[in-house]
Amino acid sequence: MNSSSINILIADDDNDDAQLLSEAILNILPSGKCSHVVDGIAALRHIKTNVEPDLVFLDLNMPLKNGINCLKDIYNLDLLPNTPIVIYSTSKNIKDIEDAYKYGASFYIVKPASFKELCKIIKLAITILGKPKSERVEKSNFVLREETKTV
């Protein structure tokens, strides 16, 4: 992913989570520009009325229209056929993960506990997205999460 003037849309009803995600993204893509909306309806409105984003992060649990329903609309209406969309959530629910994959999300990121881990995961996702897009990431590599440490 080219880091010059990247437009990123973050849809998350939690302002603190959106701010942390934005900081992590800008840590990796300093010339990026993050826009923030608080629900899926606002995300769809933003997509339809603004410059097409280069990357979208959708929180799963938002009011009015959640991340999966927003993703379904983007997919069914073919609004962003070439734009990577990442679901970003605390949920590890297999149905949520299956639906995200089914409706074309590039990744499903499980929100990590620390900012440092968030930066590592975002960097990994952006690195993978920056490689030539020959095909979609395999389902076995679809979920990005904090590494579990054994003691």
The reported pLDDT for the residue numbered 150 is 36
User: Are the C-beta atoms of residues 111 and 118 closer than 8 Å to each other?
Assistant: yes
> Regarding predicted confidence, which is higher, 3 or 79?
79
Structural domains in the chain, CATH included, are: 7-144 (3.40.50.2300)
Mean pLDDT of 26-32: 89
**Residue 6: pLDDT band by 50, 70, 90 thresholds?**
confident
The reported pLDDT for the residue numbered 138 is 67
d(C-alpha 65, C-alpha 109), whole Å: 19
Could you give phi then psi for residue 147, rounded to 5 degrees?
-65, 135
**Residue 134: pLDDT band by 50, 70, 90 thresholds?**
very low
Mean pLDDT of 40-50: 94
pLDDT, averaged across the chain: 86
